[in-house]
Structure 1
Amino acid sequence: MSLGQDGPPTRTRMPEGHNPHGAAARRPQPRRTLVTVVGIVVLLIAAIAFANRGHHNAAGTATGSTTTGSTSGGKGAGAAPTAPTGEHPVTGQSGGLPSGFAHTEQGAQSAAANYAVALGGVDMFNAARRHQIVAAVHDPAVVARLQTDLDRAYSGAALKSLGLNNDGTAPGGLTFVSRTVPVGTKVTANAADAMTVEVWCTDLVGLAGQGSTNPVSSAWFTTTEKLVWVGGDWKIESSSQQDGPAPVSGDQRASTADEIAGAVRDYGGFTYAR
């Protein structure tokens, strides 16, 4: 969690566990426990910040018109909500991540989806790489404090609860899996230089390999990202997360640890655009 100079508190997705057995047999969720502990601090600081800050104005001026994802290219307004629509993914990069998103609703949705992927990935457990990611996707006004908070969060008991070594790596013979997959996006607040985007996601988290005590499991959640237009791109000013919506689990056979490890190794991720 971080506070900008005049902005609201910033939260990013922390390590959490998942329930592979359904609601009837919930197991401890160390990643979610971490979020709960950090959340208590967030609420206290947020209350103080809200009482002392005035109305936040996003920096910069509009450099392009704001349009909806269904009308700014692709198949247009008549396209079904689940059909591919809109512009091609961006070609720019910042800190090894996609950048240069359009100054439109569609661009904000694409940025939010890509940022959710980056913040939910294995690289967040490596200190040097985490610092690059956080700096690349957040408003510079909130980065310094957020880096400090995350360094504390991704350490010690949190890593141990996931079965990881102190440096965030997996024990020998095991593969650590942490991958977020956006399913859809929705703009819930729209201004020229500020957008709020919800990203509905599923993810995979756990240790794949023989003898793993924290097997890879999946969960569903929705992350809400408040984005601001800074330096010619969309950046996260603050974010939060809630569980679901979660579909009914299918009846297919669970893959072996080796199959999961191989799939994560062989199947790459995506640059998302609407």
Structure 2
Amino acid sequence: MPTVLLVRHGLTKMTGPVLAGRTPGVHLDERGQRQAATLAERAASLPLAAVVTSPLERCVETAGAIRDAQQGQRARRTPLGWHVDDRFIECGYGDWTGKPIRELAKDPLWKTVQAQPSAVRFPNGEALADMSARAVAGVRDWDGRIAEEYGPDAVWVACSHGDVIKAIVADALGLHLDQYQRIVPDPCSVSIVRYTATRPYVVRVNDTGGDLAGFAPPKRRRRTKAADDATVGGGAGGGSV
């Protein structure tokens, strides 16, 4: 099955001190633009089949940098798919949206968010369990569609937000949502998952500078019966399973 690069958007002026959530008009700042350009350059060697993004501006801008770098590659085999999908939008934080993190940390709900996120529904907002369910459904749906259209070796990008990516990676690792706070995706990081008929494989998490060229699909490869199995002994790396 295909390989998905889960990309968190780059930095904005709100990232860190404020919970931006679904606040409209939050764009990448100069730091985030540099991050997106660097990531786009790293991913330019990959013949991406598609880029799917959250509709929020900071993700569209990050994903757009990746798309533009792809379009600059003359050797592209197929046109790059570009899609916006609401299933990858930031969690609906409700009344928490736009508030300083320092202030939110004093809210009694904060401790539950840390210790038992599966039980959390933000005031006038979304439940973290619902966010996880729609994000996981989205990534698995797109992965199946891309496999059908581009083949099992396709590579694609899903550009989203921190909590969304944490939920997808936790699901791929077989973790309960209450353990997703153990996963950290930094701004403009890449976490890589390969879905197969047997199980998902988490290949990288929170990669902010590694070489991505090894994830390019092979020019020729005979798929064996054990192609989707875990490699006994650990394998040779380079993105292989």
TM-score calculated relative to the size of structure 2: 0.29
- Compare the two structures and name the one with the higher strand fraction: 1
- Compare the two structures and name the one with the higher helix fraction: 2
Work out which structure has the larger RCO, using CA pairs closer than 8 Å and 6 or more positions apart in sequence. 2
State the structure with more CA Rg.
1
